Structure formats: structure tokens, C-alpha cells
Amino acid sequence: MAEDGLYLGLISGTSMDGIDAALVALEKGRPRLLHAHAHPWPESLRRRLREAAAGSPLTAEAFGDLDHRVGAAFAEAAMTLLRESGISPSRIKALGSHGQTLWHRPTGAAPFSLQVGDPNLIAQRTGITTVADFRRRDMAAGGEGAPLVPLLHGALFARSDRSRVVLNLGGIANITVLPAGKGVTAAFDSGPANCLMDGWIRHHLKRPFDAQGAWGAGGTVDPVLLTRLLDDPYFRRRPPKSTGTDYFSLTWLEKHLDTASLSAQGVQATLAALTARSVADAVRRWAPGTREVLVCGGGRHNRHLIGLLKRHLPEARIEGTESEGVDPDWLEAMAFAWLAAATLSGEPGNLPAATGAHRPVVLGGIYPA
């Protein structure tokens, strides 16, 4: 079992809305959130990251520059969190840094997952032993490198007397299946969550996201477009499977659009319907009999989207993970603190049922303080 103590987790997800930093106390293998901090990206850096994730070519010099700047931002996020919490860096046993994903290609002849955020820089600037590069060892073992949080979902939310699903609504939606008394039996990315809605409203209204889903709620779903989008082969693939915003991008969306006949608000309404339908279809297909869906991630705050999910899954109680005492905004950052502890203790951090790896493996590289 991982050693008890204080750990720190850092992640910027596919939405790129900021760096999430979580200070966690590990007690008998169970993490407890002590303090959290949302660290903003400098707008110029966020813009460059989004361009890179959308497929803009990067020279070796530009890649190196991004890797350095993201590492520096992650280190600053960690130190800001510690200043706010009054905790000395010397008390932190390890820091788990996910980094910022630029590209995730888990299939093909040469699968890879690319994150930036130099862990050497983070370890040097914080004085904290840093664990990073979590995904590629799972991929080397035949897995997709994602999702990595389901092992923690099982530890926190599995119950012997009820079947549950944990639904993370970040840029991408992912699902962890927890049948009664069985732990995690499957976990996978179901498709887009907020990434397309965020990109569409940024393009048309210059807003970072659709607050509470209000713009989408005011539009009319186009059934022809929704059918086209749901016909994408990804939705029919069997788990294990994972995806990213490099796939579900505005370029992907625009291939299906007939802009002459669709209003921008109608497209937003259809994108919300796409997320709700694809999630509901995945739950019904791969977690039949589920009566509880625990939601985390930024999409937890999208009232319109949650309402659509309740409409499509009327048999299930849908509520945030706060109902279980876990803040839905910080679960992923907590997970990378927890994974760092596992790596330091030599424990596997992947779940083959989720990633498709041939076996459990210890994840990531260790960069000593």
C-alpha cells in the first residue's frame, strides 16, 4: 500500500480551462482533499496550446518552448496552492503531474499519447519529487493509456449493494462501470462532453464556455445533424477505447455541417444533445441495470446537459460526486496525487479492464527533488 502522507496532483484537462491543483492527504490508501487551487493559463499560452491540439504544425523549437512554459506554469500552480494552504513543500512526499495533452492516438501502428509540461522543471522549481508521463507505460503494455482515473473511482465509489456509473464530463466524457460487489468492470471514453460545445461558443460568441448550458438550451436540436454525428464509428466501437479533442474537434464537426440551413444556436443545442445521447447510449449498452450515475468534471455545472441526461436515463438517479463527499471539480487532480503515491511505492496504477493493457504496470517516471 502507498505510504500515507501529503501528496499534490496537477492536471490541465482537454478543455484547457486552467490548471487544477489538489493537495491530498492519503490515509490508509484513501485520498482526502485538503485544499485546491484553479490556476489560470496565460491567454497567449492557452491559445498556442489549443492551436497545437487542433493540429497546427509545431517545429522542434516551438514544441520545446511549449514544454518549458507549461512546466513553469504547473510549478507556479503547485507553489501557489502550497502558499494558500500554508503547507511547506518539504512536507509533500510527491507531486503527480499529468501535464497538458496535445495529442492522443491510442491505435494504429505507432500508438502514442503526447503531454507537455517538463517535469524536470517542476521538480527543480518546487523542490518536490515529481512523478509524470503516466500514460505511455500503459501504452507500452498494450493499453490505450486512458482512462487512468477508474482505479480511484473504484476505491472511492464502489459499493457491494448497488450498481453505479461514475461519469466524468470534461472536454471528453468518460464512464466507469461499478456493478454491485464487483469493483470496476469497464471504463472508457464515450465521446465528447464539453469540447465541441466550448469550441463552438468560443467561435461564435467569443465566450470560453456555455454557462449552465443556457445558449444551447435556447436552441432547437437538428435531428438530421444529430443522426449524422451519432453515426461516427467511434460510438459503435467496443471498449476499451479512448479518444481526445484532436479527434472530436471543430474540424470533425464541420465535416457534418450544412451551414446554410443551421443556426449557430441550433448547432449548440445539437452538440448538447450529442453528448447526452452518446453518454446515455453507452450507459445502457455497457452498464445495464445502473440506477446511480455520479457526475464529476466541469460538465457537472451545465444544468441543461444534466437535464438532458436525466431525460435520457430516467431510470437512474443522477447527481454529483459531492453527494459522496468528493468535490466533483477536483477528482481528476486528486487522482494524479494518488497515482504518484502508487508509483513511488511500486504499485501498478493502470487497470487493464479500462485501458486494455496486457497486465497491470507501474506508471510514469520519477524526478527526484
The per-residue pLDDT for range 223-262, each reduced to its tens digit, is 999 999 999 999 999 999 999 998 999 999 999 997 557 8
Give yes or no for a contact between 302 and 169, defined as CB atoms under 8 angstroms apart. Answer: yes
Q: Provide the residue type at 265 as one letter.
A: Q
pLDDT in tens, 338-360: 999 999 999 999 999 999 999 99
Name the average pLDDT for the chain. 95
Count how many Cα atoms sit within 13 Å of the Cα of residue 273 in the half-sphere of its side chain.
20
**Dihedral sign, Cα of residue 324, residue 326, residue 331, residue 334:** negative
- pLDDT confidence of residue 47: 93
**Dihedral sign, Cα of residue 18, residue 202, residue 294, residue 343:** negative
- pLDDT confidence of residue 46: 94
* Buried-state track 110-137, b at ≥16 Cβ within 10 A, e below 16: ebebbbbbbbebbbebbebbbbbbbbbb
- pLDDT confidence of residue 260: 57
Q: Which residues of the chain have pLDDT under 70?
A: 259-260
- pLDDT confidence of residue 262: 84
> Cα 220 to the chain's mean position, in Å?
28
For the chain, where are the alpha helices, taking DSSP H only?
A: 43-53, 60-85, 119-126, 135-140, 150-157, 195-205, 214-217, 223-230, 250-254, 264-286, 303-312, 331-344, 352-355
- pLDDT confidence of residue 259: 59
**How many CB atoms sit inside 10 A of residue 209's CB?**
19
- Can you tell me whether residue 193 is helix, strand or coil? coil
For strands 30-39 and 5-12, give the pairing: unpaired
3-state helix, strand, coil in the chain (%, to 5): 40, 20, 35
Q: Is the pTM of this model over 0.85?
A: yes
Q: What domains can be seen in the chain, in order of their start residue? A: 5-145+330-367 (3.30.420.40), 150-315 (3.30.420.40)
- pLDDT confidence of residue 1: 72
